[in-house]
Amino acid sequence: MAKNKITDQKQTINKVLSYTARYKIRIFISIIFAAATVVLSLSIPVIIGQAIDLITKKNEINISAIVQKLIIVAALTAANAVLQWLMNTINNKVTFKVVCDIRNEAFEKIQTLPLSYIDSHQHGDIVSRIIADADQFADGLLMGFTQLFTGILTIIGTLGFMLSINVKIALLVVVLTPLSLFVARFIANNTYNHFKVQSEIRGQQTALIEEYIGNQKIVQAFGYEDKSMKMFDDINDRLTSASVKAVFFSSLTNPCTRFINSLIYAVVVSAGGIGVIKGLLSVGSLSCLLSYANQYTKPFNEISGVITELQNALACASRLFELIEQPSETQDLDNTIANVQGSVELSNVYFSYTPDKKLIQNFNLSVKKGQRVAIVGPTGCGKTTLINLLMRFYDVNSGKISVDGYNIYDIKRSSLRSNYGMVLQETWLKNGTIRENIIMGKPDATQEEIEQAAKATHAHTFIKRLPDGYDTIVSDANSGLSQGQKQLLCITRIMLSIPPMLILDEATSSIDTRTEMHIQRSFAKMMKGRTSFIVAHRLSTIKESDIILVMKDGNIIEQGSHNELIALNGFYTNLYNSQF
């Protein structure tokens, strides 16, 4: 387990370094500035020590020389401050550019992830990785850039200066140093796992909050408030426990290393004091050694703190990389199809979401150009699954689906999907104006074309009543529109672009009967000459279809026109009679 944890950390560190390598010039400049600030800060104790020696000389105090030393100290301090500001500015830019790159890759990955991954993972957890984990990673990385370089260079520099003043005392400090490193390493090893667990539980909490906020009406309607609160309390308690453990181990770093550093400082004071008494050191040199001893041990506090923060950052980064490295959809070919006629054929298609639960088996279907195909059957029979396969949201386990004789797996997904117009039962509006939502499939549409499409779906009337008409800002979560009005906008979106093939999956389920009658007439015009697949529970809407497929348990058990199926007096007849 420990070995796997170390391997995981090393892999995460290597991935982070690969991102930072893109900004190696800036990082190199930052290191130069860090080295300059260290040199300047370490030069100051030498000058102060010289000033102290000037003061301690009996009857030979040189005020002008002391003032000159103080002026030099002030100049070095000012230069040090400017260089530190420049270094921090560069580090900030590098940090947030790295995080920006990782966030972009994570969001791009979402666009290429198979729907099976999206459907099987909590959406809130995915959001938490891209937002919260990326922020935590940025905080740790920024602290690393800011303090790690200067800390390491300060340790090396102070050691060099101490060796130049007194070798024995310097070596004494070096011998005691591993104690601080040992403590920091022990704490770091125990911190990483706790921070990783904390990130995972935080993702679960975000998912739960998003789920219940988005469905608060259902929660209240069924009196589920107490149970949802209990679930939240459980996750919150687990998050508190994980956070307390992570903070406990991370908080040990500073006091433990400070104790060791104080021990080192006491040793230098004792040894240096004896040296001054014996005349081996001047008071100024002892002052320098004490200052360097303090500066030498201080970075160990900072670096151990940085290491603790980096544990949190690496734990968050590993969750981000886990998302980025998920397998994408199977590679697209560059082939495109144009001037699609609309003939569709499914041959010996097998598909199931999970291997142990069979769904569609040996499915065969041949649809000619312009035919209107209705798909009916009980819930869970595979109607929507068939639509997912036609659109390549999911790939078949075996078999073949063709459009105009082309295997859809030899066609670029975007090209295939651009030839379908799809209206789903679930509406979706992006955050933007009504116009922007309607023209998603045809960005260059004119206002006249937009209004014509809206009038065809009977959406124009309610749009004109909105405060800003077609410029009214709407969103899926908070639009002020009814579910039916949202559905009308989604139908208008398709009515505007009118591709050669249509998929209507319960497209009028949220619309009142009178409006539905108007839209059905508009659909009839839109579907004329276009291959159409219609999933419907209300059988009255599909009576005019050329072919009605009756599905059950993933198979077609009956097919034919409405009158032919009624004449069979089978499963379809029972469905129809149950509604009328």
> pLDDT tens digits for 10-48?
788 888 888 888 888 988 898 888 888 888 888 887 787
Looking at the predicted structure, is the pLDDT value of residue 152 above 90?
no
- CA–CA dist 359, 361 (Å, integer): 6
Residues with Cβ within 8 Å of residue 106, at least 6 apart in sequence: 129, 130, 134, 320, 323, 324
Residue 79 confidence (pLDDT): 92
Residue 580 confidence (pLDDT): 64
Query: 124 and 208 in contact (C-beta within 8 Å)?
Result: yes
Looking at the predicted structure, is the pLDDT value of residue 82 above 90?
yes
Residue 1 confidence (pLDDT): 43
Mean pLDDT for the stretch of residues 89-99 = 87
Residue 58 confidence (pLDDT): 60
At residue 296, the 3 state secondary structure works out as helix
Residue in the block written with tokens 């093939």: 501
Mean pLDDT for the stretch of residues 73-94 = 89
pLDDT in tens, 442-486: 888 899 999 998 888 888 988 999 888 999 888 776 667 877 788
Contacts 24+ apart (CB under 8 A), 214-217: 214/477
Residues with Cβ within 8 Å of residue 468, at least 6 apart in sequence: 433
Range of weakest confidence among 63-77, 97-111, 153-167, 387-401: 153-167
Range of weakest confidence among 322-326, 378-382, 400-404, 410-414: 378-382
What is the fold, at CATH topology level, of the domain defined by 18-324?
ABC transporter transmembrane region fold (1.20.1560)
Range of weakest confidence among 47-56, 230-239, 348-357: 47-56
pLDDT in tens, 490-521: 888 888 888 888 888 877 766 677 767 767 77
- CB count, 10 Å around CB of 22? 13
Contacts 24+ apart (CB under 8 A), 51-54: 51/284, 52/283, 52/284, 52/287, 53/282, 53/283, 53/284, 53/285
Query: 159 and 42 in contact (C-beta within 8 Å)?
Result: no
Q: Write the DSSP string, 216-255.
A: HHHHHHTT-HHHHHHHHHHHHHHHHHHHHHHHHHHHHHHH
Of 359, 448, 447, 342, the C-alpha closest to 397 is: 359
Residues of the chain with CATH 3.40.50.300: 344-579
Instruction: Calculate the average pLDDT of the chain.
Output: 81
Torsions phi, psi of 402, nearest 5?
A: -125, 145
Q: CA gyration radius for the chain?
A: 35
Q: Write the DSSP string, 428-486.
A: ---SEEHHHHHGGG-TT--HHHHHHHHHHTT-HHHHHHSTTGGG-EE-SSS-S--HHHH
Residues of the chain with CATH 1.20.1560.10: 18-324
Residue 304 confidence (pLDDT): 64
CATH superfamily for domain 344-579? P-loop containing nucleotide triphosphate hydrolases (3.40.50.300)
Query: 425 and 491 in contact (C-beta within 8 Å)?
Result: no
Residue 435 confidence (pLDDT): 92
Mean pLDDT for the stretch of residues 110-133 = 81
- CA–CA dist 494, 561 (Å, integer): 26
| Highest mean predicted confidence (pLDDT) among 5-14, 124-133, 329-338 | 124-133
Looking at the predicted structure, is the pLDDT value of residue 6 above 50?
yes
